[in-house]
Amino acid sequence: MKMLAAARRQRREAATMAREVTTMACEENVAAIAMARKEDEAAMASTKTKNNSCARKKKENARKKKKNGQYRYMDTIVVDQGRSSIYGFVEPQTIQPSGNTLENRQHYLQTWMNESHWQLMVIIPKQCKIIWFCSLHRKMKNDLRTMLQGVIGKSQGQLVQILYPKVCNQQQDSWECGFYVMCWIKTIIRAAITDDWNERFKSTSPIPEETIRQIRQEWTTYLLQRWS
């Protein structure tokens, strides 16, 4: 009887040990599967991040190329109109091929993008003034004003004046802001506007569609000739 009881006890212990081993094996498998899943998710997230980064870089490069193309196109107008000593752009490295290489000018034309919306600054360093154009009639952001004060105001030793033309053309469609900026630049250069901004810009009417089409055509023609 004692031997039979001992045998039964051994069988129970063996069964218990087998269950524990099986449980441990299952837990290890579950942990391994969870780890593999985490590694797959991390790899997918890394790939997604890289793809997003590449997409952002491509988008940024395309935006820069477009912006540089605008600068070069507009600078040809500066040169053609004989205004090289009056107007220039803040990024001269993008426009030297057009022939405008003077370093010191009276007015600098600078485009600015905020929340996918193009705006225009006419910077007059010697007067410590900036004329601000926005086709949505938005005011200059405080962070931009602070940055300009730190760069221009500091060099001139005085506060920068931000002047807003009392009225300027106001766009109706969401995609035309860049062409409004280009139209203003052309108007400023061709009319040699250097002061009396409120007298020169006093219409809130949208720029005519025919004018927008003409600017698009001229710019497209320029880019095709340059990049083809």
Neighbours of 1 (CB within 10 A): 5
pLDDT tens for each residue of 163-182: 998 778 889 877 889 899 99
CB 122 within 8 A of CB 109: yes
Q: Are strands 129-133 and 161-163 parallel, antiparallel or unpaired?
A: parallel
pLDDT computed for residue 174 by the predictor: 77
| Domains within the chain, CATH numbers bracketed | 64-227 (3.40.395.10)
Q: Which residue has the tokens 């009392």?
A: 166
Instruction: Output the pTM of the full model.
Output: 0.62
Give 4-58 pLDDT, tens digit per residue: 666 666 666 655 655 554 555 455 555 666 676 777 777 677 666 666 666 666 5
Residue 222 CA: distances (Å) to CA of 55, 66, 75: 27, 12, 12
Per-residue pLDDT at 130: 93
Tokens of 173: 């469609």
Please give the full DSSP string across 120-169, using - where no structure is assigned.
EEEEEGGGTEEEEE-TT-PPPPHHHHHHHIIIIIHHHTSPPEEE--S---
pLDDT score recorded for residue 59:
55
Cβ(179)–Cβ(68) under 8 Å? Answer: no
* β-strand partners of 163: 131
